[in-house]
Structure 1
Amino acid sequence: MIDIQQISKKYKGADNFSLSNLDLSIAEKEIFGLLGPNGAGKTTLISILCSLIKPTSGNFSIAGLTYQKNKNQLKQIIGIVPQEYALYPSLTAFENLKYFGSMYGLKGKILEDKINTALEHLGLLAFAHKKIDTFSGGMKRRINLIASVLHNPKILFLDEPTVGVDVQSKNVIIEFLQELNKQGTTIIYTSHHLNEAETFCTRVAIIDHGKLVVTGKPETLIAQHSGAHNLEDVFIDITGKALRDHA
């Protein structure tokens, strides 16, 4: 589904590459975890795959489409759930979703039915006509998610989709994503919640300093690292204990 070949990215004025000659393949219908410390290059890679920024060098294709030749088509088959809330706080949940759905070409009863069904699945139907600025963090996360999937994307990119939410919201979000995956959506997921990634992802990649370090099923990586009891142990073993603060 996704084929990445020798992708590199160096931002203007930067001393180092954010991504360096990265090769990676992701199969259709995977739940793929893209893991790494702060500044490892995860968000940069997702931004490139979503055609939001251009790589310095290298190529990639998604479902056989390339950003050089098929940029508009690519945008039609992907959904993006950003880490920050991409919502209008003065509009209601329904108004936000109707606006974003219309951007995908959806309209009328089809769009309204999609919105109401998704709101019901994520426990938000009773709050459909409340303004977003009255919502809790978990509620905003769920609306953010709905906005990204109204057009039934083939691939869904998730950047920290459960950060800062309560346990109940997290469980509802994960169950919703698993159901989307069962229906055929390929999911690319980044998170610092490694226990969540261990149970949620079918396969993961750990990148560090812009380079791919290791890929594999979580249980396989745990078995391959002596003394590792979970994915967090593997992560620390590979990336070290040094702080990764950056500005």
Structure 2
Amino acid sequence: MIELKNVTFGYPGSTRDVYEDFSISLLKNKIYGLLGKNGMGKSTLLYLICGLLRASSGKIAVDGYDAQLRRPEMLREIMIVPEEFELPKVTLDEYVMINAPFYPRFSKDVLVN
């Protein structure tokens, strides 16, 4: 379950908050869509849930874990690929070997197929 309670977040230097007193509960075993125009806060919401951004107020929990703490028990259940990122100069096999331990349910068979 993902739960946001009274979350407020704004980027430094911005005159408006992206989220103000925002609350939502996303239940387990459900599929949700995240739709909206560019700049409406879709990526920001995902980064808040992953703990990559921190709300100025409110609480964000993923399966009961405080998202801001980025605990390994929470992070092993989450994967986000940002819009822009740089990969290290390693082979795919090396990258998998480095990162697979963080994801206990990772399957190399699924990756290859």
1:8: how far off?
1.1
Q: Helix, strand or coil for the counterpart of 2:34?
A: strand
Q: Distance in 1 between matches of 2:56 and 2:67?
A: 13
Which of structures 1 and 2 has the bigger CA Rg? 1
- Report the residue type matching 2:17 in the other structure: F
Report the aligned-residue RMSD. Answer: 2.2
- Give the equivalent residue in structure 1 for 2:97: 98
Q: Taking CA–CA contacts closer than 8 Å with sequence separation of 6 or more, which of the two structures ends up with the larger relative contact order? A: 1
Q: For residues 16 and 105 of structure 1, what CA distance do their matches in structure 2 show? A: 37
- Counterpart residue identity of residue 63, structure 1: D
From the two aligned structures, give the one with the greater helix fraction: 1
Which whole-Å CA distance do the structure 2 matches of 1:2 and 1:56 have between them? 18
Change in 2 beyond 3 A, CA 1:10/1:44: same
Q: Which amino acid aligns with 1:50?
A: C
- Equivalent position amino acid for 2:94 in 1: E
Question: In the alignment, what sits opposite 2:66?
Answer: 66
Alignment of 1:178-193 (within 5 A): none
TM-score with structure 2 setting the length: 0.81
Structure 1, unaligned stretches of length 5 or more? 122-247
Counterparts of 1:51 and 1:40 in 2: how far apart (Å)?
19
Q: Deviations over 1:133-163 (max 9, x none)?
A: xxxxxxxxxxxxxxxxxxxxxxxxxxxxxxx
Separation in 2, partners of 1:105, 1:25: 24
Paired residues of 2:77 and 2:103 also in contact (CA < 8 A): no
Matches within 5 A, 1:99-138: 99-102=98-101, 104=102, 114-115=107-108, 117-121=109-113
Partner Cα distance (2:56, 2:85) in 1:
28
Structure 2 equivalent of residue 175 of structure 1: none
Quote the Cα distance in structure 1 between the aligned partners of 2:86 and 2:110: 17
1:65-119 C-alpha deviation (Å, 9 max, x unpaired): 2236x5313223322232235533x4222222112214x176xxxx7xx32x023
